[in-house]
Each structure stands twice: as C-alpha cells, then as structure tokens.
A and B are shown apart, each in its own frame.
Chain A
Amino acid sequence: MKPPPFAYHSATSIPEAIQLLSKLENAKLLAGGQSLMAMLNLRYLHPENLVDINRIPELSGITIDQGRLRIGAMTRQQAIKASAEVKAAAPIFAETLAYVGHRQTRNRGTIGGSLCHLDPAAELPALALLHDAMVTVAGPRGERKIEMAAFIVDYMTTAVQADELVTLIEFPLWRAGHGYGFAEFARRHGDFAIAAVACLMESDSEGRMTRVAISVAGVAATAIRLTAAEAALIGKVAGPEAFAAAAACCADIAAVGDVHGSAEYRKKVAAVMLRRALTDAQSRMAKNG
C-alpha cells in the first residue's frame, strides 16, 4: 500500500459532495487524481477521508454561448484539447494543453483539479488568469463566483474553503481573429515549466495594439499577469521593438528559484518566452484588424 490510510467516499451529486465535505473530518476532494494520488503515494498528505467526484456527470461539459466559454470543473484536460468548438473560439487552449503533462495524465486530469492544486508551473491557472476567468464555487452556504485573480491566494493556495468545491470555470472569449501565443521552456516535453508565457492580442487597422493580456507560469509563486508589460504594449505598433520593451518587464517579476532553475534564470527565460509568444500572437492576428 503506497498511500496512507483514508476512507473513500464517492459522491454522485454536487449536494452530496458538499454534504460529505461538511460532515467528514480532514477530507480532500479526489478529482482527476493526477496530482493528489501522486502526493498520497509519496505520503506528502494524510487526509482521513477522500471524496471522489468522478461520478458527478453535471460537473463535466463544455458550452459556448454569449461570448463565454463555460467548462465544467471535472472536464478532462484531453476533452478540452480535443474540442473543435474550443479550438475555433479560443485556439490558445489546444496549443497550451499540449504542454499539460502527457496524454495519459490529460485523459484523467481535470481543469478544476489543476486550478485547485495551483502548482506555480501549471499552465491552466495561467490560462484562466489570462482570460480573467470566473470560477464558480459551491458550498453549504450556497454558490459564489470568484474572479481568477482573487481565486489565486498564494503558493498552491486558493480561495476555496475546505467545505466547498469548484463547479464551473467561465472564460470570457476574445473577439474572432485575435492573436494568441503560448511559449514554454521545460527540460523535457511534459516536464514542469521553467517558464511559460501565454498572451492574447488585438490591434487596430494600423497594427497598433488595442488590447493585450499576458500571463506567466513557472516563475513566481503562482501564475501571474504581467500588467506592466501589457500597459507598455497598448497603443504601440506590434513588432520586435515593442516586444523587447515588454520583455524587459520580466526583470521585475517576484521570481522564485529552485533546484531546476534560479530566480534570475527563470526571469531571463520568461523574457525569451514572452518575445516568442508575442511574435506568434502578432503573426496570428487577422490581417483586417
């Protein structure tokens, strides 16, 4: 037996999951299990109870309407990557999800699980932050919606309380023809990112950027928005000169170093990834602006 002892419970509805979380001592939700099960096998965690939410069908699904992409918390990462609907409305998802683990882990891993685990190097929290996503959380006091910026509290810490679960993530979509770019550096394919940058871009008919969003994973304690770089780009003509100025903002990130890369190194890699992501975004913007 690798994991420490716990009692397993399977919930078949959202109210049942909330009830179990409220009633049970020291309980953890089991979503896709691609991080939690590894942490249990390594005995980093010792929950007394596991509440499995894999048998709650209403937690899975992808819908797009009124300019919003809605993804159920238990939707598998592979299902999002493979969705033609998502690819058409928000092509950055498929591009980014190719970097999320491996096929075997994407088949089980969920978007809600990734957001709640909040690994600093994880790509999905960075995508949610990039889109100013809204996270719906259900608990014994009812439902509440949390903006992604407030959902992220600190290193691997979210605003979700112990008796709550994430049910839905809503992404406001950018207009058709927006530019997008995702660049990541890791030692091997599928490894945790040393630095990853996601960006979205819109410009006017003269090529001046009118709207830009940039998020960075793997560098600071959580995914962050690079607001200084966004502000530096607005009104400028998209191109190497503007992108170099934006990349310089990476020097000010509150970077955290570890055995895989120092804080300084991560900031330098982030600057390179930012230039690449912005260049891709520019080349992908619809030419008619």
Chain B
Amino acid sequence: MLGLLLKKLHFQRKNQNSKKASVQHSSPICLSKNLDENLQLLKEALGQSSDVIIRDMKISSNSNVDAAIIYIDGLVDRNLVNHDILQPLMLNLQLIKENVSQNHSSLIDFIKSSVLTVGQIIVADDIDRVISDVLAGHTAILVEGVTQALLIDAKGWKSRSLEEAKNELAIRGPRIGFNETLRTNTALLRRIIRDPRLTIESLQIGERSKTEIAIVYIKGIIKDSLIDEIEQRLKRISADAILDVGYIEQYIEDNPLSVFSTIGNSERPDVTAARVLEGRAAILVDGSPFALTVPMLFIEGFQSPEDYYARPHYASFLRWIRFLAFALSVYLPAIYVALMSFHQELLPSPLLITVAAAKEGIPLPVGIEAIFMIILFEILREAGLRMPRTLGQAVSIVGALVIGQSAVSAGLVGAPMVVVLATTAIASFVAPSQADLGALLRILVVIVAGFLGLFGVVIISVEILSYLASLRSLGVPYLSPVTPLDIRSLKDTFIRAPLWAMDSRPASLDPNDTRRQSPDQMPQAPKTKSGKRERQ
C-alpha cells in the first residue's frame, strides 16, 4: 500500500514538472512598428471579451498619427482615463504648436513627459508585458510607428472599504483590518512603519491568476537568509491560481503534513507590523484580507494584540487563561472519559458518588457518549457558521435545546457529560486561532482515552510534544523560546513583561539587529531634591 502511495506521489510530481516546462518555453514577442499589427496581436491574446476596450484615435497637432488606448472596463478609473489620458492626448496635444510628431519615438517620450497628467507610467516594449499589465488594470497607449507602449497606472475598481477586523478583536488598540486590495494593505503597513528600510518586494504567482504577492520586511532587522528562503519557496510555486493567502501557506510550509500550522496569519495591520518589527516577514496576497507572517512560533497562537496594549499583569494572567483554556479544550473530555471508564479510583469519593448517580441508567459507554457529543457540537458549530445570519439563531436554539435539555432528560446523555462538553466548547473559543487544531486533537485524545485511559492520554501527549519539538517554521524551532530555551525571550511567553523590559527582539528569530529599544527605560519618579537644585 505504501509503495502504491509512493508511486502516486512520483507520478504527480512528474506531471507537474512536464507542465511547467511547456508553459515556460515561449520567448517574449516585441511590439512591431505597425499599430494595426500590434492591435491584432492584442485582440488575439485578449480574445473577444466584452470588457476589453480598444479605442482608436488620432493624436498630434495635425491629427495624423494613429494611436490606440487599451484598457479593461471595470478595472480602471474611468474618470482618470477620460480626463487625464484621453483629454490631454486628444485636446492638449493639438494646442502644442511645436511639431514634434515627425519623429514618432520622440513623440512617445513627449507624451510621457509633458502630456499625461498621471502618476505612474511604465514604458514597455514586450507584448506579454502589455497584456499582463492591462489585465492587472493598467491602461496601455500604443502609437503608430513606435515599438514601445505606455502603461499607465489608472487602476480603479470597487473594493470593500476598510473595516474593523472581524476575527481578531481587541477592546483596546487600533480597530482597522486589512481588505482585499494589496496596495491598500501595504499602505496600511507603511503608515505604521515609516522606516525607509521597510521593504515591499513584489512577485507574481499563478499561471492563470497572475496574483500579485508582496513580501514585507524591514531590511536590517530580518535575518538575510530568511528572505532568500522565503523568495525561493515562493518562486517554487507553480499553481493555476492563488486565491488567498491560504494557498501560499500550504505551498511554503516546512511540514506540509502537520496538523499544526507553522505559518502565522493576521488580519490586523498593527499585529502584522509588530511581527515585522520583531524580525519576521509578512506575505500579502492581492485579494486576501489576511497577511501571512513567517516564521511562526507555537506561542503566537496564545498571544493576542491586546496583550501589548493592556497592562502587563492582566495580560500575563490572560496568557495563562488561554493556556488553560487550550489545555481544557483538548484534554477535558478525554480526562473525563478516562476517569469515568478506567480510573474511578482517582475521583474524590463524594464527587464519584454524584457522578455515579448521574451516570446510572445511561445506556451509552462514556467514550462513545463523548465522541457523539463532540461531533454533535462540531456539526452545530459548522451549521451556525455557514448558515445565513438570520438562520443562525434557529440553530443555536435547537442546539441548546437538543444538547442541553432533551438529551439529558431523555436519559441519553449524562448531565456531567454536557457540563464537560460545554466547558470544552467555551474554552475552545478562548484562543480562536487554535480552535481548529484543538478540535482535531480533542477527538484524537478522546479516542485514545476511550481505549487506554490516562496512560494513553499521557503517551499521546508525549508523542505530540515530541512531534511539536521536531517542527520548524522556516528553520526556526516551533517551540522556541521555551525549548530550545531562551530565557530572555521568555518575557513574552508565560508572562507578558512590561514593554520597557522587553529590550531585545526574540532571539529565536535570529534577527540582524537584536536591540529593540534602549535599556533601562523603566519609568521612575523624578529625583525631587537634585531636580529642584538643577532648576534653581
């Protein structure tokens, strides 16, 4: 069976390779001097789509030079095209008395330098480039007798306005979240970090989607080899389309088969900026309101943006609450199952009697009961999530009634089981980024507990720990800074030290510049006596 699997993998890999080869063979075609020929080529390439607009016109003072502009309706800002491209070309050019139109190539330079009143203009001489840029929302100008095209950035399409981040909520701190436009997102980051060394590298990935990807990092902080590694991994991707950062995540992970996510993500610019400042890199994808951040440490799942805005004591306390909640959400049903069906001796006697009374007359074995309830809960959760908002209410009512009341009063499920499951469910929402992971682990651990009791639970936990310890996220050990231990970085793990105490960036990320701030910034009361003297 394994051999078969191996062969299958081989086959797939081969297929991919051959496909890649066939795509990459074509060499760039240059633009010709003939405008009609160029237009013909473009029409062929862009097809008969109704949203491709090709507008012929005559420019230059005596209206004798043929030209055309090409754009895709909907992707460009129509106002901009009409007022700042068509109008200058067709009207203003006429006003210019000097006859520059004799030389066509100088005409295009003239247009670029003196006529068009738009910001970004690229000169291209390769037809593929023209096509891809037009498809990305540029407006192209082709002029008769010129082998170059002007590509004007006049993008303008409808996008969602910036809204509050929906999933990573914080009571204190900024509210804004990313949206689907790459430029907006990079601008959000740039607005937070005005360091000139903040670098935004662009890449295009996707054979068909040609999605714009940006790698954001700060030169001088990030480890140099990390950027090379990220670029290398990104360039290896050869997929049809990249629809979301989730696609990228799966292509660049270190341990693609792991249930643990080794790539972080965030929908908040402040969180992304903080991670970039710590020496990580962010990957933004056009069309996705999330940013990937690499490398990711396991501890990040338990850090919330609010930790850094709230007071340190409470933030540290909340950290522990999150650890506890995660542990509960994974282990509580398993421990309950193990105690109820293997280790009745471990319950304190009064508790045992109460539980025994509740268990009396329940037909299902407790392990099956637990799995049944967990799956029921997951179904309810998924239903509540996917349902139209208006129906969500109905689901929660049915769920509460079915699980909470009827099952118990009908004697199908014990009341303690419902308590356990409800606690688990609530606890699993405390660290939302770990919720899906928690759900999988929970089922695994419950099954093991049902078969082997606490021994099995501990065995599987040690195995999970050993597995976690072997994971890496872009070369950084996943469990650092706890193991391998880095005492200085522990300031931001089990506790959240006051900001003035966190002088260095996390050492496990191995940043070029480890110093985050000047040390000894603990606020102190002004030295009254000496201070007074100085003033006098």
Do A and B share a complex? no
